[in-house]
């Protein structure tokens, strides 16, 4: 049974390959061609399995089972050949060929019929001198020739189609498919025909699973190949591999020959000994390979030169000097043209700080193509060839190709601080006319840490510049903003016991509270959060506060006020500006509150009568997403009694986390309100904030607003 070990081992390896690909890249199942390749590998794995079953059952003289197993093996071989033919007809295009598919299914049905229901292909099986023999039917030779001819035709068609393909990566993938098909056919002919004919022996039949292994391996390599070969690198690697093969083969052959002559092993154990020897030599071959490559010293590679250039960069230089050094290194070593460099600024936009081809656009992280690239796990370097060959990227091919086209890019490099992108470099086509290949990709991966370091330095230099500029702008804007913030009609405590606070993570922010007296006992209260941070958000807040005052003067109703404000945000503020908050009208004389929720995360209502705290915010629609929000909002009413308390908080408060990532428990606020319901709002507010602040490790990571009032 030792002969079957090769087949069983190959079956397990091919199954692992299939499931590894499916689990690692589920997108592979979405395309016709990759599904076909997986199907071919699956058929190939079953061929190896049933070849081994045939050997084992024949040795146990269970020839009825052997006969069935051989027929199954032949059937899978036919299906394999038909699937290969279908693949080569359309690859890499995703095309349905209904007529061809029907014809191939008919051929498969005919083959299955003749294989299983007649003796025209197989009659049976026997064992001669421990070797499995097929008892072939009248048309076995003809069917074998037809199957081989189909593979030959597939290879010829593949070569013709490869020459006509526009994309180099597709040419390479097709050539790999043709090589796999041709090699598997050659090995099959060698084992099944040439060796038996020349050497008059069938003892090497047990090696036939290698045919399936070669076919499956090259096809999987073809679909996972997303970058071009480097020709010089290929020559170098070939030389290294040939040298390694000669050395390892000589060692293995000498060792095996010595053991055989000394009768240490028997012929029945030969496959097992071969496997053990092969595995042992494979373990040490990696060290031999390293030694060979050091001796050969392939000098035309530029990795070390580029690494040395980047390492020599003095990072205390100015932004201009650092960028020029980086660009010069990339151009002289990789021969890149049309280089663009983007660095993240204070508001999270990747700002173009260098462009050889006058790209004026900045990169915003909301861009769909950019988000797709940045969401690709553990990948920082993207080649244009990958967009049309990588299963994950191919799902969004048109979108990402346009992104590359906008930058005139062949390569895009994302420098990430964790999952946060701080720098993007795009490289255009090479000035020497050669394509970017696998060696370029490996080199960029090797120097990635150098690029990240440069990106980090540039970001911090820009941050310092921005900080200086912003400080000046803040000083100029400070008077206006503070004047508007302080211009609040806060009621006296004997009229309405109200207190609030706003805290920003960056000095100025978009969270705000506004209180406007509509009459002596009626107040409009707004608690809100403008998207963004810093000066931009603060200026948007100024516009919104001013707009509210203007709309009130028009004496429109409550719902119309919110609807009109939504239009102002949508049409006049920077794209991507949104407001989440709540508008409340508190009528003290009528002891009631009307409110419209526009995305405020929490409104607490404390009932002095029942001594209970409940959340009453319901669902709310954020302002700024749609032009007309009137049909999406509603006015709600809450009746209030003496001693009732209303508390409101923005999302910076509710989404805060502790140092270990635990989210703030809002029930703590409810507990504080209940325990301190008789105290002034200012005291309750202080206790709530102090509790939250300690929980957040005394850090304010996002802008927050808190407001509390109690009915007199």
What DSSP string runs through 573-622? SPTT--EEEEEEEEETTTTEEEEEEEB-SEEEEEETTTTEEEE-----PP
Rg (CA), the chain: 37
User: CB–CB of 429/337 below 8 Å?
Assistant: yes
Q: At what angle are helices 681-695 and 667-675 packed, to 10 degrees?
A: 150
Please, which residues have CB within 8 angstroms of residue 159's CB and are 6 or more apart in sequence? Answer: 175, 178
Residue pair 474/533 in contact (Cβ under 8 Å)? The answer is no
Q: How many residues comprise the chain?
A: 712
State how beta strands 340-344 and 420-427 pair: antiparallel
Between the CA of residue 285 and those of 57, 246, 252, 276, 375, what are the distances in Å? 36, 11, 11, 14, 37
* DSSP state at residue 360: -
- Within 10 angstroms of residue 604's Cβ, the number of other Cβ atoms is 20
Q: 3-state class of 382 per DSSP?
A: strand
Q: Do the bridges between strand 522-530 and strand 579-587 make them parallel or antiparallel, or are there none, so unpaired?
A: antiparallel
- Whole-number pLDDT of residue 241: 60
CA distance 703 to 502: 7
Residue 480: its pLDDT value, please?
47
The pLDDT of residue 379: 84
Residue 263: phi and psi, rounded to 5, are 55, 30
Question: In whole angstroms, what is the distance from residue 367 CA to residue 345 CA?
Answer: 16
What does pTM read for this prediction?
0.54
Residue 324 and residue 314 in contact, taking contact as beta carbons nearer than 8 Å: no
CA atoms within 13 A on the CB side of 278: 7
Do the beta carbons of residue 453 and residue 243 sit within 8 Å?
no
CA separation for the pair 246, 289 (Å, rounded): 11
Q: What is the pLDDT of residue 712?
A: 86
Q: Which residues of the chain have pLDDT under 70?
A: 1-2, 129, 192-193, 196-203, 229-246, 248-249, 251-253, 255-301, 315-316, 347, 365-366, 418-419, 462-487, 506-509, 532-536, 538-539, 554, 572, 574
Is residue 426 within 8 A of residue 340, CB to CB? The reply is yes
Residues 6+ apart with CB under 8 A from 166: none
* CA pseudo-torsion sign 104, 105, 110, 114: positive
H helical segments located in 513-553: 534-553
For 324, residues 6+ apart whose C-beta sits below 8 A from its C-beta are none
What pLDDT sits at residue 477? 47
- Yes or no: say if 534 and 508 are a contact pair by the CB < 8 Å rule: yes
Partner residues linked to 340 by β-bridges:
355, 426
State the angle between helix axes of 32-59 and 4-24 in degrees (0 to 180), rounded to the nearest 10.
160
CA distance 543 to 531: 13
- Determine contact, residues 326/454, Cβ cutoff 8 Å: yes
Instruction: Name which of 439, 421, 430 is nearest 341 in CA terms.
Output: 421
Confirm if 408 and 357 have CB atoms less than 8 A apart: yes
DSSP assignment, residue 30? G
Spatial CA neighbour of 508 closest among 488, 544, 479: 479
Q: Are 10 and 212 in contact, with CB atoms under 8 Å apart?
A: yes
What burial class does residue 82 get, using C-beta atoms within 10 Å of its C-beta: 0-12 exposed, 13-18 middle, 19+ buried? buried
- Token look-up 């040439």 returns 194
CB environment 687-705: b (16+ within 10 A), e (fewer): bbbebbeebbeeebebbbb
Cα separation, 565 vs 516, in Å, equals 16
Which own/partner contact pairs does 589-595 have at CB distance under 8 Å and 24+ positions apart? 589/521, 589/522, 591/639, 591/640, 591/641, 591/642, 591/711, 592/637, 592/638, 592/639, 592/640, 593/637, 593/638, 593/640, 593/646, 594/558, 594/635, 594/636, 594/637, 595/635, 595/636, 595/638
Phi, psi of 657, deg, nearest 5: -125, 155
pLDDT on residue 645:
95
CA angle 22, 23, 27 (to 5 degrees): 55
Q: What is the pLDDT of residue 267?
A: 52
Residue 636, classed as helix, strand or coil, is strand
Nearest to 547 by CA among 512, 599, 521: 512
Separation between Cα atoms, residue 372 and residue 507, nearest integer Å? 33
The Cα–Cα gap between 685 and 671 comes to: 13
- What pLDDT does residue 556 have? 81
């Amino acid at each position: 049974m030792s002969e079957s070990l090769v087949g069983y081992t190959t079956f397990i390896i091919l199954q692992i390959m299939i499931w590894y690909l499916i689990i690692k890249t589920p997108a592979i199942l979405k395309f016709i061609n990759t599904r076909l390749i997986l199907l071919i590998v699956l058929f190939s794995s079953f061929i190896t399995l049933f070849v081994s079953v045939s050997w084992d059952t024949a040795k146990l003289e269970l020839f009825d089972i052997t006969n069935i197993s051989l027929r199954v093996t032949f059937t899978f071989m036919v299906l394999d050949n038909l699937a290969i033919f279908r693949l080569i007809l359309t690859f890499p295009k995703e095309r349905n060929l209904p007529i061809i598919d029907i014809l191939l299914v008919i051929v498969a049905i005919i083959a299955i019929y003749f294989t299983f229901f007649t003796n025209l292909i197989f009659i049976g099986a026997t064992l001669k001198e421990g070797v499995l023999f097929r008892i072939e039917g009248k048309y076995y030779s003809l069917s074998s020739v037809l199957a081989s001819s189909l593979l030959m035709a597939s290879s010829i068609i593949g070569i013709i189609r490869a020459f006509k393909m526009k994309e180099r990566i597709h040419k390479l993938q097709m050539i790999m498919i043709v090589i796999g098909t041709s090699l598997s056919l050659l090995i099959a002919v060698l084992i099944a025909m040439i060796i038996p004919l020349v050497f008059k022996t069938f003892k090497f039949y047990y090696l036939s699973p290698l045919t399936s292994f070669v076919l499956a391996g090259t096809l999987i390599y073809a679909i996972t190949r997303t970058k071009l070969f480097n020709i010089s690198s290929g020559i170098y690697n070939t030389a290294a591999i040939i040298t390694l093969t000669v050395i390892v083969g000589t060692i293995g052959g000498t060792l095996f020959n010595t053991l055989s002559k000394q009768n240490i092993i028997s012929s029945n154990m030969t496959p097992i000994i071969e496997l053990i020897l092969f595995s042992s030599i494979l373990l040490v071959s990696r060290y031999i390979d390293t030694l060979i490559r050091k001796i050969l010293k392939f000098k035309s590679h530029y990795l070390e030169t580029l690494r040395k250039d980047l390492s020599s960069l003095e990072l205390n230089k100015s932004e201009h000097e650092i960028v020029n050094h980086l660009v010069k290194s990339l151009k002289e070593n990789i021969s890149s043209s049309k280089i663009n460099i983007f660095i993240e600024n204070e508001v999270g936009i990747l700002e173009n700080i260098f462009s050889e081809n006058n790209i004026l656009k900045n990169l915003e992280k909301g861009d769909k193509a950019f988000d797709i690239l940045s969401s690709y796990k553990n990948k920082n370097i993207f080649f244009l060839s990958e967009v049309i060959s990588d299963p994950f990227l191919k799902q969004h091919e048109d979108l990402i190709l346009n992104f590359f086209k906008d930058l005139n890019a062949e390569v895009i490099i994302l420098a990430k601080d964790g999952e946060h992108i701080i720098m993007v470099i795009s490289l255009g086509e090479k000035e020497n006319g050669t394509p970017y290949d696998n060696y370029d990709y490996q080199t960029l991966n090797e120097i990635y840490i150098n690029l990240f370091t440069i990106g980090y330095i540039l970001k911090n230099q820009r941050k310092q510049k921005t900080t200086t500029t912003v400080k000046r702008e803040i000083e100029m804007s400070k008077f206006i903003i503070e004047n508007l913030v302080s211009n609040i009609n806060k009621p006296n405590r004997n009229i309405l016991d109200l207190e609030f606070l706003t805290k920003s993570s960056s000095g100025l922010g978009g969270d705000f509270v506004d209180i406007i007296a509509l009459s002596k006992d009626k107040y409009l209260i707004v608690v809100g959060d403008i998207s963004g941070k810093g000066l931009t958000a603060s200026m948007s807040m100024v516009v919104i506060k001013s707009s509210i005052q203007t709309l009130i003067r028009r004496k429109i109703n409550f719902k119309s006020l919110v609807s009109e404000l939504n239009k102002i945000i949508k049409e006049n503020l920077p794209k991507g500006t949104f407001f989440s908050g709540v508008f409340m009208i508190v009528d003290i004389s009528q002891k009631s509150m009307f409110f419209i929720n526009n995305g405020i995360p929490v409104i607490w209502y404390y009932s002095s009568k029942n001594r209970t705290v409940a959340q009453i915010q319901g669902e709310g629609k954020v302002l700024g997403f749609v032009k007309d929000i009137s049909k999406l909002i509603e006015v709600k009413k809450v009746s209030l009694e003496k001693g009732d308390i209303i508390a409101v908080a923005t999302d910076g408060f509710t989404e805060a986390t502790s140092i270990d990532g635990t989210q703030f428990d809002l029930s703590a606020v409810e507990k504080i309100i209940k325990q301190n319901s008789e105290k002034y709002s200012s005291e309750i507010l202080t206790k709530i904030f102090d509790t939250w602040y300690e929980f957040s490790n005394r850090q304010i990571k996002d802008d927050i607003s808190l407001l509390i009032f109690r009915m007199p």
